[in-house]
A and B are shown apart, each in its own frame.
Chain A
């Protein structure tokens, strides 16, 4: 790192060299976060389809594979889906407001990705270690509504507009509950910095995590997180039976996929925030030999996967069952 910075300084002079170096290194970090995140989204859809399939005694996607390797069957499915979405035509309805129609997916994915800037993956691994990290995340996630409202309005369709109103109302109202649950966390940690929040949970074991003293807040946060992302028990915004699919009915191809990516990356974001604020982030569950061998990053990934599975994965099919029975 030092050598590269030196080279930049030699090439562009002291001030500009330092600025351009920080720009280049930040861009590298951003790509290092966004590309695994998008891959994670792709494979989250695959995992979701597979897990729900097994819960409903089906097989799920099991055809597309890489280079014809038989034991990778199904693993190529997300890639194939992505390629298919990119090949498809983006249809802009005649009555739509073209500028806003194209702008809406961009406005949805931007805050969903920008919020990841302050997430600490391990004690040293964080893009922007800012003091007001938690506030920044709240601000970014609250901007996600614009994409939804604009999409609904710009499509110039009643179904899309109704869907947008429903999801916007839902997101705005659950954001309050979410924010106040986080206020409790920052009162315990006495800091808005996400790294400090994790460090405040350090101790001998998982008994020091904020999960135990703030268990009701944990539930509130998780439930409103599921509601924010318009997932299963809170999917009135989607309303398959009455308003088709909500605000993105009129979107096709990559424009739709961008909404999809934003929704799933928001899901991963909520799971990540839950594991950082309540489940000790990168800290191992017990501060002892075999557990500390595993790097903190892996612990964080395991916690994210656990939250995703238990609150976003399980709820989905059980809801389907409830709908069938009712």
Chain B
């Protein structure tokens, strides 16, 4: 067993334990944080597969942005655990079917020799100066440029929709208008009254 294997087993052990924790832990904040841990260890595994761009993008997007919003929501919710458990048996068959499908898919990958996956040669390790950021960029902007731009437009549409759905104009909003404030002259507001000073008795 060499150093990389040990790293792999450490990362995958943490990944499995934290992923189990996400669905078993009672406190929703803990389970969100365990999901963060799962993402980070998963990024570690991807780094070992020489996919450094994807690994860092995973941390940047999911850990740095998506999970922060999750945590925001989870922390501000007042979750009643008993209400959450009510529908468990009702949804159990549905969940069991999905779990079976996932087990079948994973076993197809893991038991590759029965499905002829071993005919795929293992990828050759790349040189140290190989930048898969550059390769990804080249692919995205040449071969997959239409798909990429379509995805970008979809995201833009989604963003515009989200803003349009949540944007509300308040009718009773009062805010100062700087241009009007600047135009105000002293004569409009102040009237200087000349009054004789009172004499001391």
Contact = CB atoms under 8 A, between A and B. Distances in A.
A16 B33 contact: no
Contact of B68 (A130, A139, A149, A161): A149
Interface string A137-149: 0110011011001
Contacts of A130: 52
B64 A192 contact: no
Interface stretch (B53-61, B107-115, B168-176, B182-190): B53-61
Given A19-B3, A143-B59, A135 B72 contact: no
B139 interface: no
Contacts of B33: 100, 146, 150
A172 B72 CA distance: 12
Contacts of A310: none
B71 A139 contact: no
Contacts of A136: 56
B96 to A, nearest CB: 33
Secondary structure at chain B's binding surface: helix, strand, loop or mixed?
A: helix
Contacts of A172: 65, 68
B75 interface: yes
Contacts of A278: none
Interface in A137-171: 138-139, 142-143, 145-146, 149-150, 153, 161, 165, 168
Interface in B125-158: 129, 131, 133-134
A85 to B, nearest CB: 27
Secondary structure at chain A's binding surface: helix, strand, loop or mixed?
A: helix
A142 B63 contact: yes
A145 B56 CA distance: 17
A100 B36 CA distance: 14
A132 B56 contact: yes
B19 interface: no
Nearest to B67: A146
B53 to A, nearest CB: 6
B68 A146 contact: yes
Contacts, number: 61
A236 B105 CA distance: 50
A145 B64 CA distance: 8
Contacts of A161: 75
Contact of A132 (B3, B36, B52, B71): B52
A240 to B, nearest CB: 24
A135 B133 contact: yes
B29 interface: yes
B133 A131 contact: yes
A168 B52 contact: no
A74 B9 CA distance: 51
B68 A135 contact: no
Nearest to A192: B133
B2 interface: yes
A15 interface: yes
Interface in A28-44: none
Interface residues of A, number: 24
Contact of A16 (B3, B65, B131): B3
Given A131-B133, A149-B71, A172-B65, A142 B3 contact: no
B11 to A, nearest CB: 16
A139 B64 CA distance: 7
Contact of B60 (A16, A138, A149): A138
A15 B57 CA distance: 31
Nearest to B4: A19
Nearest to A148: B68
Given A16-B3, A139-B56, A139-B59, A145 B133 contact: no
B52 A131 contact: yes
Interface string B7-47: 00000000000000000000001000100100000000000
Contacts of B131: 131-132, 192
A240 B159 CA distance: 35
Interface of B: 2-3, 29, 33, 36, 52-53, 56-57, 59-60, 63-65, 68, 71-72, 75, 129, 131, 133-134
27 contacts: A15-B2, A15-B3, A16-B3, A131-B131, A131-B134, A132-B52, A132-B131, A135-B60, A135-B133, A136-B56, A139-B59, A139-B60, A139-B64, A142-B60, A142-B63, A142-B64, A143-B63, A145-B68, A146-B36, A146-B68, A149-B68, A149-B71, A153-B75, A165-B72, A168-B68, A172-B65, A175-B64
Closest 6 pairs between A and B when the two form their complex, measured CB to CB: A142-B64, A139-B59, A139-B60, A131-B131, A19-B3, A135-B56
